Structure 1
Amino acid sequence: MKKIIVSAVVAAMALSTTASALEDIKTSGQAKLWYETNDANKADLFTVAPSTGEVVFKLGMTGKQGNVGFGTTVYQTSSMGLEGTLVGATRDNTSSAMYVGEAYITAPLIASTIMKFGKQELDTPLAFTETWNATPNTFNAAVLVNNSIANLTLIGAYVGQTNTGITGTSVGSFKTSGEVDDQYFGGAFAIAGLYKNDALAANLWAYQVNNVGTNGLTWFTAAAQPLDLSVNALWADASMKAGVVNLTGTAAYVTHDNDNADATSAFALSADTKVSDVTLFAAASTVSEGDLPVANTATGFKKSKLPTEGVYTDGLYVAQPGATAFKLKASGKLGTTGLALQGVMNKNSHDDTDTVGALGLSGLAPAHETTEVDLFITQKLGDFSLTGILMNRSFADSVTDDAKGGNYIRVIAAVNF
């Protein structure tokens, strides 16, 4: 299979240089090292057991023939033989995997409408590509985008498959599983209207995710659920400028069609401004005690578009039912070095003996009460981009604090070619 993929990529590149019918051929590539270690659960930093790592090679190509465009991205992931000596695990579900992450076409239809069809990255509030990991998750989807009305973009999408191992996915830290061939439940539909002018930007999304019970992913605590259970959701956000401050408000509503459904609603507000060369950011969010989180349905709710999440205090915490979260961040540059410092605090309104949210994520309510402080350092060294993230996590629950609390260090080194 690897030989077939490599041969296809080489043949496509050769074709790009010889076939005059193809236009605007562009190739891109990246080599990346992703490494993380921690001292949680009585471990030592930089030892094998608590450390994960991956080397990723990415090769992409885009172009068009007439009005029809295309794009493809191939990934090769490997521990480079360091698993068991430097790291205890990789960030991909398959060792030394080569797979096609993107393979799509774009084509104009009628009335200022463009179709994008095939394997692709998505950026929607409740089903999106997460880029924090060694490799991103992608989707088999069909997306229609219409721009026939000034300042308004209309979107319709169908999502059929993903590559995050969504079947039987467990608590949180998703890993891509190579080819984009895992069923996205019974398929998901999304429609959206995105409006933007000089004074205001507003986005409205509506979702229906079908048959979420068919592949064993229990999204909420219940004695039983029908196999044809469907989830419906709304998401709205709006941004405006008030003097020198940028304001954004967010609201979301998520429910399902079980007879005993308890809908979840979420609200958030964020503000940012620039003081000299420093950008200051503040955000708050709250989620009601419903059945479902308000986070990425493609990755076991790992990440959320709520503005309060941190590196680890993410969709598994701030987007869970009963959560109230606050975030402060300052970012800027010291010479050529980028620096950012942020703090996130998450509380939960459930009783201490209540299990919180989908899958009983992280257990009882006190396990969701957490504080995180993150320091980001970025630097260019020649052609290499370096990112270091220093994290400290603490929990109100002593058992959870012993297991997950502590210091975490993540290093990402990448070079584009």
Structure 2
Amino acid sequence: MKLVKMSLAAAVLLGASAFAIDNMKVDGDASVYYGTNNKQYTPVGGTAKSGLFDKTTSFADTAVRVGVTGDLMKGVSFGVTGYAVSTLGLENNLVSNTWTGAHGAAANTAASVGVQVNDASWIGEAWVAATLGKTTAKIGRMELDTPLAFSEKWSIVPNTFEAAVLINQDIPDTTLVGAWVGKGNGTNTLHPAYNGPVGIDNVVAGAANFNTFMSDGAYAAAIVNNSFKPLTAQAWYYNVTNVADAFWLQGDIACSLVKGVKIGAQYAQMDQKGHLYAATSNSSAYAFKLGYEGVENLKVSAAYSKADRDGALKIANVATANGTSQSKLYTEAYWNYGYVGAPSAESFNVTGEYAIKDVVSLGAYYTQVSGNVANSWGGANDHDLKEAALTASKDFGPLNATLAYISTDAKDQNIKVGNTTGSRYDSVLAMLKLKF
């Protein structure tokens, strides 16, 4: 799903539960994802048309993940995760695109057959971790979940990293994090070779190849503190070599005056440097969130964010295509990424989720973004967006089934013939995941 639900503070605590593994454990899942929309398209030699479930405006994929974890010796553990993706030939019958660009594509020998979408398989994780006292070191290929560089898990397969992470919890109620990120297989725009020729998600690169992260790798350091129990505060610093210095500050508090009320604040800044962005302005954004979880199985929230008007980078994931990558800002949309963290973007988000026990989990999400001005470095920020999404999810034992409907009205999408701004369109997603 395209919704970030994981607490950042919880995500960085890679500690005891992640490494206290008894002997050997094997798990995984198999997924089938399908999506369609009614954007306008013009077939070769034909007239413009649109329609839900039309092959040209539909995309589908299948994926299998298998993971193995175990103990090498006391205090030392390992993990290996393999991925495989295949269209099962669906692009020849029901769809014209895929979810992930990890496939790659090749021309068939018979011109009439068109382009062949290749299957792909790779090792997404291969790490070793050692724990001594309250300090854990982890090295190898792994998922990461930090505010500005993370594995995007909404699509059918996530991007991962080659990194080294050190975590210490000797200070009471405090977690210290240090990391070096050397490579990744995300669609980083600094490496055009990352980008796969197919796929709608811009998450995993073609053939899932690992390449140098950003320009020359990156360092990160963080402190997460929970000394005042209702409050989780975190501060992150990134040194992305020859690209930017970045900061992320966040505080989330459970209100003691009104049970169930949660309040959050975020501030992010990316100071460009080096040969890539030396002549451009810095990027920054702030956000606030008010949530209520005082009713069983119900979660509601409202959020607001504002980005400055001159930034070269968006306040979003730098590990994937930053123009359309997911953001950790509270206002992030359900489906349309690349808007809330854009220069000059002023955004609102309202979210409601309700679980009917043993029946269905329902979600409703609305995001609105405005900010159409020209900035100081010559870009035109035509990124107005109105998105409404409805979801329904149900578990049938190990099988999860999710349906989603999204209404998108964006100035830069679905620009029909003869118009200069986009028109509203509908999207429908169906996702099945079988865990084993």
Compute the TM-score of the two structures, normalised by the length of structure 2. Answer: 0.79
The yes-or-no answer on 1:260 pairing with 2:289 is no
What is the match of residue 246 of structure 1?
262
Please tell me whether the aligned partners of residues 119 and 180 of structure 1 are also in contact (alpha carbons under 8 angstroms): no
Residues 10-44 of structure 1 show CA distances to partners (whole Å, capped at 9, x for unaligned) of xxxxxxxxxxxx95210002110011110012421
Deviation at 1:256, TM superposition (A): 1.1
The yes-or-no answer on 1:29 pairing with 2:28 is yes
What is the match of residue 269 of structure 1?
288
Moved more, 87-96 or 265-274: 87-96
Please tell me whether the aligned partners of residues 409 and 422 of structure 2 are also in contact (alpha carbons under 8 angstroms): no
Moved more, 340-349 or 259-268: 259-268
* Partner Cα separation in structure 2 for residue 36 and residue 117 of structure 1: 36
Structure 1 gaps, min length 5? 1-21, 211-228
Residues 293-332 of structure 1 show CA distances to partners (whole Å, capped at 9, x for unaligned) of 1110011121000010112332x10001110100011110
Q: 1:209 aligns with which of 240, 244, 254?
A: 240
Question: By percentage of residues, which structure has more strand?
Answer: 1
Q: 1:406 aligns with which of 417, 420, 425?
A: 425
Residues 27-86 of structure 1 show CA distances to partners (whole Å, capped at 9, x for unaligned) of 002110011110012421112111111111111110012121000111111011111211
Deviation at 1:365, TM superposition (A): 2.8
Q: Return closer, same or farther for 1:404/1:128 CA change in 2, 3 Å cut-off.
A: farther
Q: 1:386 aligns with which of 381, 385, 401?
A: 401
**SS of aligned partner of 1:40:** coil
Corresponding letter in the other structure for 2:224: L
Deviation at 1:396, TM superposition (A): 4.5
Please tell me whether the aligned partners of residues 284 and 307 of structure 2 are also in contact (alpha carbons under 8 angstroms): yes
Corresponding letter in the other structure for 1:65: L
* Partner Cα separation in structure 2 for residue 399 and residue 406 of structure 1: 7
Deviation at 1:170, TM superposition (A): 6.8
Structure 2 gaps, min length 5? 1-20, 41-48, 104-117
Q: 1:231 aligns with which of 218, 236, 244?
A: 244
The yes-or-no answer on 1:85 pairing with 2:93 is yes
What is the match of residue 9 of structure 1?
none
**SS of aligned partner of 1:304:** coil
* Partner Cα separation in structure 1 for residue 333 and residue 278 of structure 2: 35
Q: 1:199 aligns with which of 215, 230, 234?
A: 230
Moved more, 239-248 or 168-177: 168-177
Deviation at 1:356, TM superposition (A): 9.0
What is the match of residue 341 of structure 1?
364
Q: Return closer, same or farther for 1:231/1:84 CA change in 2, 3 Å cut-off.
A: same
Moved more, 268-277 or 131-140: 268-277
Please tell me whether the aligned partners of residues 174 and 224 of structure 2 are also in contact (alpha carbons under 8 angstroms): yes
Residues 269-311 of structure 1 show CA distances to partners (whole Å, capped at 9, x for unaligned) of 0011035343211000000012221110011121000010112
Corresponding letter in the other structure for 2:234: N
Please tell me whether the aligned partners of residues 294 and 304 of structure 1 are also in contact (alpha carbons under 8 angstroms): yes
The yes-or-no answer on 1:135 pairing with 2:157 is yes
Please tell me whether the aligned partners of residues 187 and 195 of structure 2 are also in contact (alpha carbons under 8 angstroms): no
Residues 351-391 of structure 1 show CA distances to partners (whole Å, capped at 9, x for unaligned) of 4xx6999xx6xxx433x111000001101224310011100
What is the match of residue 332 of structure 2?
309
* Partner Cα separation in structure 2 for residue 295 and residue 317 of structure 1: 9
Q: 1:50 aligns with which of 48, 57, 60?
A: 57
Q: 2:353 aligns with which of 303, 314, 331?
A: 331
Deviation at 1:397, TM superposition (A): 6.2
Superposition CA RMSD, Å = 2.3
* Partner Cα separation in structure 2 for residue 77 and residue 310 of structure 1: 26
Deviation at 1:260, TM superposition (A): 3.1
The yes-or-no answer on 1:74 pairing with 2:104 is no
Q: Return closer, same or farther for 1:199/1:161 CA change in 2, 3 Å cut-off.
A: same
What is the match of residue 297 of structure 1?
318
The yes-or-no answer on 1:174 pairing with 2:182 is no
Please tell me whether the aligned partners of residues 100 and 179 of structure 1 are also in contact (alpha carbons under 8 angstroms): no
Residues 104-159 of structure 1 show CA distances to partners (whole Å, capped at 9, x for unaligned) of 000125x6321110010000000000101110000000000011111110000011
Please tell me whether the aligned partners of residues 137 and 165 of structure 2 are also in contact (alpha carbons under 8 angstroms): yes
Corresponding letter in the other structure for 1:369: D
* Partner Cα separation in structure 2 for residue 272 and residue 180 of structure 1: 40
Q: 1:288 aligns with which of 286, 308, 329?
A: 308
* Partner Cα separation in structure 2 for residue 235 and residue 404 of structure 1: 35
* Partner Cα separation in structure 2 for residue 73 and residue 128 of structure 1: 17
What is the match of residue 218 of structure 1?
none
**SS of aligned partner of 1:127:** coil
**SS of aligned partner of 1:154:** strand
* Partner Cα separation in structure 2 for residue 396 and residue 81 of structure 1: 34
The yes-or-no answer on 1:371 pairing with 2:386 is yes
The yes-or-no answer on 1:164 pairing with 2:153 is no
Compute the TM-score of the two structures, normalised by the length of structure 1. Answer: 0.83
Deviation at 1:264, TM superposition (A): 1.7
